[in-house]
């Protein structure tokens, strides 16, 4: 027997949650096959079998928490052909191979009208074999019921269907009650990642002395550049010219001028970073993740756009690595993609600054004594007042505004 253990999950991550089993107990596994998937605080990882054989001794079900190094299954040497070829009847109801066959008989338990309502969960919709292999406790219960079903099967095939019309009013009332409860409220357990996000956001608010300052940016110049250059840019670099490259360059320029916004607090010390690794918030089905654009100060506009596009794609596919999610020095988040006009971003600890972008909206503005309609964007800077003074934060945001409104200066300052 070879043990299947939870692998190292990354720096500071000591446990995970089983989110999916790719192999059922009793199935053949080849060396290099993924047997299950683990959800951690940051990414999902596959547990790989190092040996070939048959999956046995599964001890954890979907949703269970496991620790690094913990044994969650074993691999029995062999191909699994012998066990699958053996007749189910000769092995008895206690073996995994005979359990599905035994439960296939129309026993009273299988025909009971309340079974669908009682098991109205995602697991219940799966095939019986997958359901049994998802939980050791369910497998044990199913084996015990399977023994009863085999011995009672000859006497009950006809009786089970006849038991349905005994109380016609009860089955009719049950679905209605279930539907009413389902429509009015639903209890859904938060994923491990969502729990971690919630915990860290609350910690950031309780730990940092967080304040937010606001300003607005005239986006006329950037929109003009994008209109004139977007086709040529796309043809040359294979990626669109978006707003993020301009704001990333502007943020880097402002961080160089105000270094305490590119820092973190460790005890009584400030760690001032001399590198500019900009986190870019990406929304996924499982919550917000912040992959990092490394050394953004040395990257071209095209390189920044390509890297952000690549990181965002992998984030939504759940393929980001732990390295890509760690070590950022400052974060940019764009609520404008969802239509937000103004918001207060929360710090991504241990960082002490985060810039919030918002929706571009045309508004009447006074320009050189005249009222003109301009495409305007509100921007927000949340900062940790423990090491960043209010005047620093205001001047930082003003510099971002000035650099964005004068894109040519980004070539010098960014």
Q: Are 374 and 365 in contact (CB under 8 A)?
A: yes
Q: Which positions ≥6 away from 154 have C-beta within 8 Å? A: none
Q: Are 255 and 262 in contact (CB under 8 A)?
A: yes
d(CA 133, CA 176): 31
**Backbone torsions φ then ψ of 358, nearest 5 degrees:** -140, -175
CB burial of 205-233 (b: ≥16 within 10 Å; e: otherwise) equals eeebebebbebebbbeebeeebeeeeeeb
Q: Are 76 and 53 in contact (CB under 8 A)?
A: yes
Q: Looking at the annotation, which residues are catalytic?
A: 385, 389
Instruction: Tell me the three state secondary structure of residue 250.
Output: helix
The tokens describing 66, both together, are: 């496991």
Q: Which of 320, 314, 397 is nearest to 355 (CA)?
A: 397
- CA angle centred on 382, ends 379 and 384, rounded to 5°: 155
The residues that bridge with 16 in the sheet, in sequence order, are 66
């Amino acid at each position: 027997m070879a043990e299947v253990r939870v692998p190292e999950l990354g720096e500071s991550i000591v446990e995970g949650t089983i989110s999916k089993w790719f192999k059922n107990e009793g199935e053949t596994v080849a060396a290099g096959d993924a047997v299950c998937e683990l959800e951690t605080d940051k990414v999902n990882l596959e547990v790989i079998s190092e040996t070939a054989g048959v999956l046995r001794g599964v001890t954890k079900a979907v949703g269970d928490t496991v620790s690094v190094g913990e044994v969650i299954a074993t691999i029995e040497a062999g191909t699994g052909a012998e066990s699958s070829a053996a007749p189910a009847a000769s092995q008895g109801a206690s073996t995994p191979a005979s359990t599905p066959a035994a439960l296939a008989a129309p026993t009273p338990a299988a025909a009971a009208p309340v079974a669908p309502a009682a098991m109205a969960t995602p697991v219940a919709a799966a095939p019986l074999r997958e359901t049994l292999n998802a939980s050791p406790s369910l497998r044990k219960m199913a084996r015990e019921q399977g023994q009863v079903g085999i011995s009672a099967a000859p006497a009950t095939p006809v009786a089970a269907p006849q038991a349905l019309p005994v109380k016609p009013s009860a089955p009719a009332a049950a679905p209605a009650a279930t539907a009413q409860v389902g429509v009015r409220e639903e209890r859904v357990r938060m994923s491990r990642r969502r729990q971690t996000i919630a915990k860290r956001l609350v910690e950031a608010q309780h730990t940092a002395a967080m304040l937010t300052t606001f300003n607005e940016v005239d986006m006329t110049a950037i929109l003009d550049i994008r209109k004139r250059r977007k086709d040529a840019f796309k043809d040359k670099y294979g990626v669109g010219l978006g707003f993020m490259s301009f704001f990333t360059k502007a943020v880097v320029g402002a961080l160089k001028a105000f270094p305490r916004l590119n820092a973190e607090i460790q005890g009584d010390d400030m760690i001032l970073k001399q590198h500019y690794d900009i986190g870019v918030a990406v929304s996924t089905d499982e919550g917000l993740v912040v992959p990092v654009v490394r050394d953004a100060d040395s990257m071209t506009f095209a390189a920044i756009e390509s890297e952000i596009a690549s990181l965002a794609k992998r984030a939504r596919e759940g393929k980001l690595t732990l390295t890509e999610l760690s070590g950022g020095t400052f974060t940019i988040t764009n609520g404008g993609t969802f239509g937000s006009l103004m918001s207060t971003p929360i710090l991504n600890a241990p960082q002490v600054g985060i810039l919030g972008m918002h929706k571009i909206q045309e508004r009447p503005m006074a320009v050189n004594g005249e009222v003109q309609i301009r495409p305007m964007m509100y921007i927000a800077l949340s900062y940790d007042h423990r090491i960043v003074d209010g005047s620093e934060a205001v001047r930082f945001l003003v510099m971002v505004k000035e650099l964005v409104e004068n894109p040519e200066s980004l070539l010098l300052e960014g």
